[in-house]
Structure 1
Amino acid sequence: MSRLNLLEETRYEKLPVSVYPDPMKASLAVAQRIADLIKSKQAKGETTVLGLATGATPVRVYAELVRMHKEEGLSFKNVVTFNLDEYYPMQPDAVQSYVTFMKENLFNHIDIDPANVNIPDGTLDKDEIQAYCLDYERRISAYGGLDLQILGIGRTGHIGFNEPGSAPNSGTRLVTLDDLTRRDASFDFGGKENVPTKAITMGIGTIFKAREIILMAWNQKKAEIIKKAVEGEISSDVPATYLQLSANVEFVLDADAASELTRFDTPWLVKDCHWDEKLIKKAVIWLSKTLNKPILKLTEEDYNNHGMAQLATERGPVYNINIHIFNKVQHTITGWPGGKPDADDSQRPERAEPAKKRSIIFSPHPDDDVISMGGTFIRLADQGHEVHVAYQTSGNTAVWDDDVLRFTEFAIDFGKMQGQDSKGLEKLYENMRSFMEVKKPNQPDTEEIRNIKGLIRKGEAIAGARFAGLPDEHIHLLDLPFYDRMKTQKHVSYEDDVKIVMQLLQQVKPHQVFAAGDFADPHGTHKVCFDIILEALTRLKAAEEWTKDCWLWLYRGAWHEFDIHEIEMAVPLSPQEVERKRLAIFKHQSQKDLPVFPGDDAREFWVRAEDRNRETARAYDQLGLAEYAAMEAFIRWRF
């Protein structure tokens, strides 16, 4: 690509951006730049001064630096580091402390002098903090400033812990954390109420003094804030936008984090495009939504005024394009998610044959099935398909301790009514209650508590699946081992999880598999569960004939829906079916009212699900298609 074309394509971007296919390739590139800087300074007998960040984003960078140290002899003896921030108050040996993070991910594995490591002190008395922060600035200046500062970005747009409202000339100081930042950290602390409300952070002015700044961001969750930081107006509402003022900054992104930048999201606005079917569908739907006009009412002038003149010229007249895309969208709508028997299926999302299909709905947590696709679940059962549901994890993390005591009390009282000896259960109850009284935030539960929490969710899951119309023998509680292992182990093998899923697939030999495709799930379980299913199917496809006729459909959970242009099957729900779905969700009593991990959204899960399904139906209606009460949406994963 010529420099002129690149400038045209990136004209909405107000700072340099490098995009890599995945986080690993991006991390290796950043690690190499750090290593080159260290070696260059070493050759001159100079000290390298690095500003370091914490969180999930730089983990692979640090892992590669450790590898370079161990395998290639990269030395850190001439390196001085200053970390961006630390929670306040925070003990350095706490699991959530950034001291612990940096030791585990970098410092314990390289030859850096501990005296050269600087991390804000989360144990100070409040009246000591101001003087400490001034001294932190002086120490950086004494080394001649930062050679390179690496950054992540929070969903508020914070860099370091410089939250919205931070001044561009701010220095190291004590700050109050934004509520969204605390919610994002809640899983690590065992609930938002346990996340510190304050932190000590380098200021934006401190970061600006670095001779080189690299901001890294991975995955779809960061795409929205990256677009604001790169293409938006400079504003204290998004502190990362201040980086647009620096001549020494570069954003290093993976493809997912960059996906909402104009050159990737709406490329027709900045360049000529290769107009394949997928891009045409996306562009026409975008134009319809942008102008709030049904697809069939879009005009040539609309195309010309919104960057789509090339499409109109190459594939026009535009009315033919409109009809074509209208039909494609219309053909995604079906009341027969298992395929309509004895019907022409050439324009339908699912096959007509076999008329009665074997389907497995994989649910990462015990309620994802009914929350995400409860209407389709019920429809498949009502239409006579052999439907199975597989609950991949116990979900025992998301149960309140009070419920454990309540259920155990019930068991004790019921046992006494039956004349049973309850001394053992009473002793267990007292032990659990004593543990809970001194339990620390995010401390793993005892095995007995985990088991009871798992039983609570098991009972709810079975009740929900029965309500949807399944016989007990079609309800599978896989209890994949990785879920509990991840609570106590840093590196987890998924081999036995894959084998458990393979065994179920071999037993059922499904024509349809439904799996959670909500990879923005804040706790990461959905992505792990999907990867296990994908690995199991991939292995089986190499050996078993039935897999050739097995389709994999993805649904999304309580967090957000697929974009309209992505949807390949939309199942409309009547008001009565919406109510049936709601009642199925209500079977999960431990998740009603206030679940342990509600995410960003204050609404209950059933409300989120209904609102999302109504919004999907409304979006179809706005494109000029039939108006439905609600819709559940799916995309097909092709191997």
Structure 2
Amino acid sequence: MQELANNLLKKEPLDSETVKFEKINTHIYQDSQSASWYVANEIASLIKQKQEQGQNAVLGLATGSTPTKVYDYLVQFYKEGRLSFKNVVTFNLDEYFPMDPDSIHSYVRFMNEHLFDHIDIEPHNVHIPNGNLPKEEIRKYCLDYEEKIKNVGGIDIQILGIGRTGHIGFNEPGSSLHSKTRLVRLDRVTRLDAASDFFGEENVPRRAVTMGVGTIMDAKRIIIMAWGEGKAPIVQQAVEGEIKESVPATFLQHHKKCDFVLDGAASSFLTRIKTPWLVTECDWDEKLIKTASIWLSEKLGKAILKLTNEDYNEYGMGSLIAEVGSAEQINLSVFNQLQRTITGWPGGKPNADDSQRPERAQPHPKTSLIFSPHPDDDVISMGGTLLRLVDQGHNVHVAYQTSGNIAVFDDEVIRFLDFATDVQKDNKELKKKFKEVREFLANKKPGELDSPEVQDFKGLIRKGEALAACRYCGVNEENAHFQNLPFYETGAVRKKPLSDEDVQITYDLLNKLKPHQIFAAGDLSDPHGTHRVCLEVILKAIERLLDEGSDWIRNCYVWLYRGAWQEWDIADMEMAVPIGPKDMNRKINAIFKHQSQKDSAMFPGNDEREFWQRAEQRNKDTANRYNALGMAEYEAMEGFVRYHF
């Protein structure tokens, strides 16, 4: 906890030139935990101040993954006896319509589980839009909601997240600056983003009751939070772009006391972060020089070695030329750095000079352990590299960290039950169980959690697919390790916090195999996602091994790959593995082995293409970018960043 406090104290004020493109006051923290700590403390300070004045503190609250850590800290303050909520009145932003308050998807349930059930707030002081009213009563209800806010003196602090379309609350693109609480129709992108919570887009309500932009703007103080790279583009538009109805968050530029609170990833598109040389004098280190040169190359459509002194000067990098001497020196240095990241030997090339290579030549062969958060991340994200490691004789193991059982359609279970029933015609007990499962699925409501039996069947389906992919890639079946980490096994999208048991399972596998290299998913943009938790489990297990003085772990390289959603920036890549046309087809065939995820995935995210299509396009785009920078032309490439202990 002290470390979080220290992160806040270390922040220094920025000069006006550095933030000249930003039209809203913006605070950037290292991670979402530190940022949430900042927000929770401001809320707590307001509550205490109002208590001293004998007044109520009126909070506007949001739902979703963004504010959950803020609520965790507020609950912690209460349990530690540092804060009471007796004088707090709350108004929530929105609720789906129609929505039963007892539904697992309702924001009533969300707020109770994350905050209200754990603090001493008076129930009559809690206000959440009612999504269970007859439609003809909604208009009057919304007017009354506005009146209740006015009657308590207005909202003191309004907490917001930001949607990928720039919506705040459920105020979709096109919402008016002066709009009030009302029933709205949800944008398709918003519904797609919510699909994972509802086990499919078709189950997401099409409407919602939401505070209006005008209602939000009436708050005395607004804090809007965003975590992760996925929010970076829309954050940049909201903070630096023109005010327009198509991006409702830009209206916040009109507010006199509105702050954006971001983690590092969500800030990555802001000018002062992405291209700091455009706003201030830079301290030019090797990484920043590489980033700037690649940016300039792509901006001008020139290969790295063709950039001139004039190009650098025109785009704010005159100080770099003055410091280094010439564009030619910079270009050659960056070109060589990029060239050294490219290797067809991800396990190291035996009997070769490895001083300029990403991986060591020895030992050969290596024990390579690939951690796959879900049963298909290995082949989707690094299938070409996996095939190369096998082809080059390394002892490849794959650890499937979770069962992936919530991402299987019910029809897949029925299909396998039909097969098993025909095979086991005389097994009456088994037939009885299968009948019960079929009846459960036939009567299952949209979004209802699967029974334990169904969860087990779905897990077995994904396990079988993973084994099929291993066989196709040449990985021995005994080298496939199904960890089924306990944090995941809730049957719901929301998972349990990681535990010592998760770490112990991973620690035991590492200690058993003692790999020379580890590959793990580095998708960290979602602070509450499975990939993030899976990596945290691995790093905690490694930390234990380091603390115990295990020599082998100090000599182990850890490589991070990206998943189905995005790729590393080329400036960050430390190893790029070329994939030829034949191996690209082999990778796609390995992805095809995961038949339950074929054609249509349960959780497609914001990209409706199949996983193999996303992977192919991402890998080809990486190769094209390398080629445009002046590197050799390859069919496709997979990129990795090394994690340094």
Q: TM-score range by the shorter chain?
A: over 0.9
Matched, 1:474 2:479: yes
- Count matched residues: 635
Query: What amino acid is the match of 2:442?
Result: E
Match of 1:38 among 40, 47, 51: 47
Query: What amino acid is the match of 2:529?
Result: G
Cα drift, residue 27 of structure 1: 2.1
SS in 2 for 1:566: coil
Rounded to whole Å, the distance in 2 between the matches of 1:631 and 1:198 is 42
Rounded to whole Å, the distance in 1 between the matches of 2:214 and 2:267 is 26
The equivalent residue for 2:622 is 616
2:66–2:225 Cα contact (<8 Å) kept: yes
Match of 2:243 among 229, 234, 249: 234
The equivalent residue for 2:599 is 593
Cα drift, residue 475 of structure 1: 2.0
The equivalent residue for 1:410 is 419
Q: Deviations for 1:559-590, whole angstroms, at most 9, x for unmatched residues?
A: 11101101111111111111111111111111
Query: What amino acid is the match of 1:144?
Result: G
Rounded to whole Å, the distance in 2 between the matches of 1:485 and 1:150 is 29
The equivalent residue for 2:6 is none
The equivalent residue for 1:575 is 581
The equivalent residue for 1:376 is 385
2:166–2:247 Cα contact (<8 Å) kept: yes
Cα drift, residue 3 of structure 1: 10
Q: Deviations for 1:21-75, whole angstroms, at most 9, x for unmatched residues?
A: 2223222222222222223223333332221212222222223223333333533
Match of 2:515 among 510, 518, 535: 510
Cα drift, residue 371 of structure 1: 1.0
Rounded to whole Å, the distance in 2 between the matches of 1:382 and 1:68 is 55
Match of 1:301 among 289, 310, 313: 310
Query: What amino acid is the match of 1:435?
Result: F
Matched, 1:565 2:574: no
The equivalent residue for 2:5 is none
Query: What amino acid is the match of 1:7?
Result: S
Rounded to whole Å, the distance in 2 between the matches of 1:541 and 1:576 is 40
Rounded to whole Å, the distance in 2 between the matches of 1:180 and 1:72 is 42
Identity across aligned pairs (percent)?
A: 59
Matched, 1:23 2:32: yes
Query: What amino acid is the match of 1:88?
Result: F
Cα drift, residue 178 of structure 1: 1.4
Structure 2 counterparts to residues 5-154 of structure 1, below 5 A: 6-154=15-163
Normalized against structure 2, the TM-score is what? 0.95
The equivalent residue for 1:549 is 555
Structure 2 counterparts to residues 387-466 of structure 1, below 5 A: 387-416=396-425, 421-466=426-471
Match of 1:330 among 335, 339, 346: 339
Q: Deviations for 1:487-506, whole angstroms, at most 9, x for unmatched residues?
A: 39864442222222222212
Q: Deviations for 1:116-166, whole angstroms, at most 9, x for unmatched residues?
A: 222111111111111111121122122222222111111111111111111
Q: Deviations for 1:401-423, whole angstroms, at most 9, x for unmatched residues?
A: 1111111111121234xxxx221
Out of 618-627 and 22-31, give the one that drifted further: 22-31
Cα drift, residue 436 of structure 1: 0.7
Cα drift, residue 337 of structure 1: 0.7
Structure 1 pair 393–77 and aligned structure 2 pair: CA distance change class (3 A): closer
Structure 2 counterparts to residues 153-302 of structure 1, below 5 A: 153-302=162-311
Rounded to whole Å, the distance in 1 between the matches of 2:129 and 2:526 is 31
1:229–1:238 Cα contact (<8 Å) kept: yes
2:181–2:215 Cα contact (<8 Å) kept: yes
Cα drift, residue 534 of structure 1: 1.2
1:376–1:571 Cα contact (<8 Å) kept: yes
SS in 1 for 2:520: strand
1:444–1:488 Cα contact (<8 Å) kept: no
Structure 1 pair 3–433 and aligned structure 2 pair: CA distance change class (3 A): closer
Out of 17-26 and 510-519, give the one that drifted further: 17-26
Rounded to whole Å, the distance in 1 between the matches of 2:256 and 2:308 is 43
Query: What amino acid is the match of 2:542?
Result: L
1:364–1:516 Cα contact (<8 Å) kept: yes
Rounded to whole Å, the distance in 1 between the matches of 2:504 and 2:76 is 31
SS in 2 for 1:253: strand
Normalized against structure 1, the TM-score is what? 0.96
Structure 1 pair 522–396 and aligned structure 2 pair: CA distance change class (3 A): farther
Query: What amino acid is the match of 2:458?
Result: K
The equivalent residue for 2:506 is 501
SS in 1 for 2:15: helix
Indicate the RMSD between aligned Cα atoms, in angstroms. 1.9
Rounded to whole Å, the distance in 1 between the matches of 2:59 and 2:507 is 47
1:57–1:152 Cα contact (<8 Å) kept: yes
Which ranges of structure 2 fall in alignment gaps of 5 or more residues? 1-9
Rounded to whole Å, the distance in 2 between the matches of 1:41 and 1:221 is 37
Rounded to whole Å, the distance in 2 between the matches of 1:441 and 1:207 is 32
Query: What amino acid is the match of 1:147?
Result: D
Runs ≥4 in structure 1, deviation > 3 angstroms?
1-5, 485-493, 520-523
The equivalent residue for 2:327 is 318
SS in 2 for 1:145: coil
Cα drift, residue 91 of structure 1: 1.1
Query: What amino acid is the match of 1:352?
Result: A
Cα drift, residue 454 of structure 1: 1.6
Query: What amino acid is the match of 2:417?
Result: T
Rounded to whole Å, the distance in 1 between the matches of 2:196 and 2:13 is 46
The equivalent residue for 1:632 is 638
Cα drift, residue 5 of structure 1: 5.9
Cα drift, residue 355 of structure 1: 2.5
Structure 2 counterparts to residues 345-360 of structure 1, below 5 A: 345-360=354-369
The equivalent residue for 1:532 is 537
Q: Deviations for 1:208-251, whole angstroms, at most 9, x for unmatched residues?
A: 11111111222222222111110111111111000011112111
Cα drift, residue 85 of structure 1: 0.9
Rounded to whole Å, the distance in 1 between the matches of 2:503 and 2:78 is 34
Rounded to whole Å, the distance in 2 between the matches of 1:4 and 1:524 is 32
Structure 1 pair 293–363 and aligned structure 2 pair: CA distance change class (3 A): same
Query: What amino acid is the match of 1:407?
Result: F
Rounded to whole Å, the distance in 2 between the matches of 1:38 and 1:350 is 54
1:485–1:492 Cα contact (<8 Å) kept: no
Rounded to whole Å, the distance in 1 between the matches of 2:25 and 2:213 is 19
Rounded to whole Å, the distance in 2 between the matches of 1:59 and 1:38 is 19
Structure 1 pair 393–67 and aligned structure 2 pair: CA distance change class (3 A): closer
Rounded to whole Å, the distance in 2 between the matches of 1:74 and 1:3 is 28
Rounded to whole Å, the distance in 2 between the matches of 1:329 and 1:541 is 31
Structure 1 pair 544–517 and aligned structure 2 pair: CA distance change class (3 A): same
Rounded to whole Å, the distance in 2 between the matches of 1:525 and 1:3 is 34
Structure 1 pair 593–235 and aligned structure 2 pair: CA distance change class (3 A): same
Rounded to whole Å, the distance in 2 between the matches of 1:9 and 1:290 is 21
Rounded to whole Å, the distance in 2 between the matches of 1:472 and 1:108 is 47
SS in 2 for 1:6: coil
1:509–1:546 Cα contact (<8 Å) kept: yes
Out of 598-607 and 288-297, give the one that drifted further: 598-607
Structure 1 pair 315–86 and aligned structure 2 pair: CA distance change class (3 A): same
